[in-house]
Amino acid sequence: MESVKQQIEALRSQLNRHNYNYYLLSQPTISDFEFDRLMRQLMDLEAAHPEYHDPNSPSVRVGSDINNNFTQVAHQFPMLSLQNTYSEGEVADFYNRVQRSLHETFDIVCELKFDGTSISLVYEDGRLARAVTRGDGKKGDDVTANVRTIRNIPLVLKGDGIPSYLEVRGEILMPWSSFDALNIERAEQEEPLFANPRNAASGTLKMQDSRVVASRRLESYIYSMLGDSLPSRSHFENMLLAREWGLNVSDSMKKCSTLEEVFAFLKEWDVARKNLPVITDGVVLKVDSLAQQRNLGATSKFPRWSIAYKFNAEQAITRLESVSYQVGRTGAVTPVANLDPVLLSGTTVKRASLYNEDAILALDLHIGDMVYVEKGGEIIPKITAVDKEARFLLGDKVTFTRKCPDCGTPLVRNEDEAIHYCPNNDRCPTQIKGRIEHFVTRKAMDITIGPETINLLYGKELIRDAADLYLLRFDDFAGLERWGETSANNLLESIEKSKSVPYERVLFALGIRFVGETVAQKLAQAFPDIDQLTQATVEQLITVDEIGERIARSVTAYFANPLYSGFVQRLRQQGLQFALSEEALASKTDKLEGLTIVISGTFALHSRDEYKAMILQNGGKNSGSVSKNTDYILAGENMGPAKLEKAGKLGVKIIDEQTFLEMLQ
């Protein structure tokens, strides 16, 4: 057994080294395929020999589906905020204040201010022991399991002179590439989009499923070191050591001896930040000497030895080359501007959203126009204006297409909508494959099949809609390129497992227009089986909370269409869940009937999604904003200050989670 242990330890050491080469040095020495092969070998050995379990094994990078509610942990050192400045004059004021207070020479360390979510990492004897969010500055959430999936955070530090207890602080960020991909996926699923990478990173870090956290490719940047026995009295020197130990410290950090050097750094990075793969919104200035930091001290909110200088919003100008059109699973046709490549927010932008025909007309777009593009945390870049003075040899005026870009069917537009649709729902290939892609997503049927496989199976005429997935057999995969026995069995097992997905998620998976995840839950509660829902009238549907006439007409039209009613019938024959479970029916009450509840903050006993489900299950209504119609705010830690202020003005009662749970007893 000793040889197995040695093999496991050797694989861990090897994978840790490759992670360091790839994520810290950006110099991989093996292929992704070879890395995955080594990881699978390690995971198989660990599964067969649980006695050698190690929470800091590189295998934890893939995450786990164990649902752990976060516990609150007190910070040994408070996590203070920084005072923001917006001009060189304010930077000079800060510099002069420090000079007057110290009466001696000092250096300022300039660091990029990465726009993410703050994290505290504790290493004990060089091994990651704990990861805690900022929280209220005094205590935060223990998110260690999720942080272990972030590949450029070392699980074990390397090198000499590492203190036995070490706390480092930094930012967890979502790179622009991951953010764009995530929001494209959410848009396709008709889920709420993240406003910017910071919100996306924060939301991801608080997820209960660490497998999902791992899939979103978060990154970290370390900017501070704390402890009773730090190796140097210089913040700058400590950061250089942190980098040697394997922590990701930005290469942009610079120590400045004069105010002029500080200004030069600000000017340089106001331009150079556009090359970065992550969002940065400013520069942090810190007095380098730890002794001088202690002498300067802090107010109740901010340290006196540090400030943040904020950049202005980013914008770029480039040429409009052409306009193309995309069709989605619901038939909605969206125009896309194709641009001369331009660098913006760390990525090369080649395309921008034009939304609809009205937006095109408002801009008065012509091919060849010089256009202003912004991406200030937006989902995808957008054109905000046209430089009409730069026009010469004016190209054709942009006019909205009148035919589907995929099947050529004439488009239609409802009087009350700005969007054009392709009405050829049952024969337009892009719509059909889009509906299948929606059907299999994690929040719907959770079938492990990607767009490439769907396209392959559709092209081979093995599937024509999502119901055909349940007719697939092992022999269907024989002869398909890159499909072996294991891959085929895994997919078939995933399809079979999806038959136990609950009713409300099956409703969401159907892809009814305007029926997102929350609406599907409300419909399932109001109409506990599919027969009741298919027979419901528009008048009956609009009596359900938050179901307006537009959604009601879409639902009735869906079930009145023979194409979709036949699709549902075929799914029923395959054994999918089209009724609420007995457990769900038994726990359904009217204890919150007529009450509107806003959820704010983070919780210890249940997740936000679980509380939303409880509110619906007991007849209440969820709302995202406080208004005169709000009855209660269910408040956890770090409740939003805007909600708190508005609740005070409107006299809305604030309850904690214990009080809320007592209301349901």
Question: In the prediction, which pLDDT does 377 show?
Answer: 46
Any idea which residue has 């870009």 for tokens? Answer: 405
Question: In the prediction, which pLDDT does 639 show?
Answer: 75
Mean pLDDT of 263-289: 91
Token duo for residue 657: 């989670």
pLDDT at 333 over 70: yes
Distance CA 522, CA 458 (A): 33
Mean pLDDT of 625-645: 80
Phi then psi for residue 609, to 5 deg, are -65, -40
Q: How confident is the model at residue 489 (pLDDT cuts 50, 70, 90)?
A: very high
Sign of CA dihedral 86, 87, 88, 90: negative
| Contact (Cβ atoms closer than 8 angstroms) between residue 380 and residue 180 | yes
Residues ≥6 apart with Cβ < 8 Å to 210: 63, 64, 65, 66, 145, 146, 148, 149
Token duo for residue 402: 């009148």
What is the number of alpha carbons within 13 Å of residue 220 lying toward its C-beta? Answer: 27
One-character DSSP codes across 506-551: HHHHTT-TT--HHHHHHHHHHS-BHHHHHH--HHHHTTSTT--HHH
Three-class secondary structure of residue 348 per DSSP = strand
Sign of CA dihedral 192, 196, 199, 204: positive
Q: Is residue 420 part of a domain?
A: no
Do the bridges between strand 219-226 and strand 72-74 make them parallel or antiparallel, or are there none, so unpaired?
Answer: unpaired
pLDDT at 584 over 80: no
Say whether both 201 and 231 belong to one domain: yes
Poorest-pLDDT segment among 26-30, 336-340, 388-392, 393-397: 26-30
Last residue of one domain, picked from the residues 353, 386, 413: 413
Say whether both 404 and 509 belong to one domain: no
CATH number of 347's domain? 2.40.50.140
Radius of gyration of the chain (CA): 28
Token duo for residue 561: 């269409």
Q: Is residue 152 part of a domain?
A: yes
Q: Is residue 185 part of a domain?
A: no
What is the number of alpha carbons within 13 Å of residue 226 lying toward its C-beta? Answer: 17
Provide, rounded to the nearest whole percent, the portion of the chain with pLDDT above 70.
92
Distances (CA, A) of 602 to 133, 182, 659: 11, 23, 15
pLDDT at 455 over 90: yes
Answer with the residue of higher pLDDT: 321 or 417: 321
Question: In the prediction, which pLDDT does 138 show?
Answer: 82
Last residue of one domain, picked from the residues 389, 413, 437: 413
| Contact (Cβ atoms closer than 8 angstroms) between residue 93 and residue 174 | no
pLDDT at 66 over 50: no
Q: Which of 5, 113, 382, 388 is catalytic?
A: 113
Three-class secondary structure of residue 610 per DSSP = helix
Model confidence pLDDT, tens digit, residues 350-375: 998 888 899 899 999 999 999 999 86
Say whether both 612 and 483 belong to one domain: no
Number of CB atoms found within 10 A of residue 545's CB: 14
Q: Is residue 186 part of a domain?
A: no
Strand partners, 381: none
Poorest-pLDDT segment among 77-91, 281-295, 499-513, 596-610: 596-610
> Would residue 301 show up in a list of annotated catalytic residues for this protein?
no
Sign of CA dihedral 428, 430, 433, 435: negative
Say whether both 481 and 519 belong to one domain: no
Q: How confident is the model at residue 507 (pLDDT cuts 50, 70, 90)?
A: very high
Say whether both 23 and 88 belong to one domain: no
Does the reported pTM lie above 0.75?
A: no
Say whether both 205 and 91 belong to one domain: yes
Residues ≥6 apart with Cβ < 8 Å to 474: 488, 489, 492
| Contact (Cβ atoms closer than 8 angstroms) between residue 530 and residue 572 | yes
Distance CA 168, CA 221 (A): 10
Say whether both 364 and 405 belong to one domain: yes
Long-range contacts formed by 453-457: CB under 8 A, 24+ apart? 453/491, 456/480, 456/481
Q: How confident is the model at residue 189 (pLDDT cuts 50, 70, 90)?
A: low
| Contact (Cβ atoms closer than 8 angstroms) between residue 634 and residue 597 | yes
Q: Is residue 339 part of a domain?
A: yes
Say whether both 293 and 170 belong to one domain: yes
Last residue of one domain, picked from the residues 292, 310, 328: 310
| Burial label, 181 (beta-carbon count in 10 A; 0-12, 13-18, 19+) | middle
Which residues constitute the domain of residue 330? 315-413
Say whether both 393 and 522 belong to one domain: no
Question: In the prediction, which pLDDT does 22 show?
Answer: 58
CATH number of 155's domain? 3.30.470.30
Tally of domains in the chain: 6
Highest mean pLDDT among 12-21, 36-45, 515-524: 515-524
- The distance in angstroms from the start CA to the end CA of the chain is 53
Phi then psi for residue 441, to 5 deg, are -65, 165
pLDDT at 378 over 60: no
Q: How confident is the model at residue 67 (pLDDT cuts 50, 70, 90)?
A: very low
Number of CB atoms found within 10 A of residue 66's CB: 10
CATH number of 530's domain? 1.10.150.20
Distances (CA, A) of 164 to 76, 116, 227, 229, 310: 15, 28, 10, 9, 36
Answer with the residue of higher pLDDT: 303 or 61: 303
Q: Is residue 418 part of a domain?
A: no
pLDDT at 64 over 50: no
pLDDT at 574 over 90: yes
Q: Is residue 58 part of a domain?
A: yes
Model confidence pLDDT, tens digit, residues 162-176: 999 999 999 999 998
**What DSSP character marks residue 411?**
P
| Contact (Cβ atoms closer than 8 angstroms) between residue 531 and residue 565 | no
Say whether both 196 and 217 belong to one domain: yes
Distances (CA, A) of 341 to 190, 317, 321, 348, 517: 29, 10, 10, 6, 36
Q: Is residue 101 part of a domain?
A: yes
Highest mean pLDDT among 183-197, 302-316, 375-389, 638-652: 302-316
Average pLDDT, the chain: 87
CATH number of 596's domain? 3.40.50.10190
Phi then psi for residue 307, to 5 deg, are -140, 170
Residues ≥6 apart with Cβ < 8 Å to 576: 498, 499, 501, 506
Question: In the prediction, which pLDDT does 33 show?
Answer: 57
Say whether both 296 and 401 belong to one domain: no
Three-class secondary structure of residue 439 per DSSP = helix
Token duo for residue 349: 């932008």
Three-class secondary structure of residue 288 per DSSP = coil
Distance CA 601, CA 608 (A): 8
Model confidence pLDDT, tens digit, residues 93-150: 999 999 999 999 999 999 999 988 899 999 999 999 999 998 878 888 889 989 999 9
Residue 510: closest CA among 453, 398, 435: 435
| Contact (Cβ atoms closer than 8 angstroms) between residue 498 and residue 446 | yes
Region at 594 (left for phi over 0; alpha for psi -120 to 50; beta for the rest) = left
Distance CA 13, CA 223 (A): 26
pLDDT at 28 over 70: no
Distance CA 323, CA 325 (A): 7
Question: In the prediction, which pLDDT does 245 show?
Answer: 95
Token duo for residue 264: 């030069």
| Residue 570 one-letter amino acid | R
Say whether both 479 and 619 belong to one domain: no
Question: In the prediction, which pLDDT does 254 show?
Answer: 96
Question: In the prediction, which pLDDT does 662 show?
Answer: 87
Distance CA 201, CA 199 (A): 5
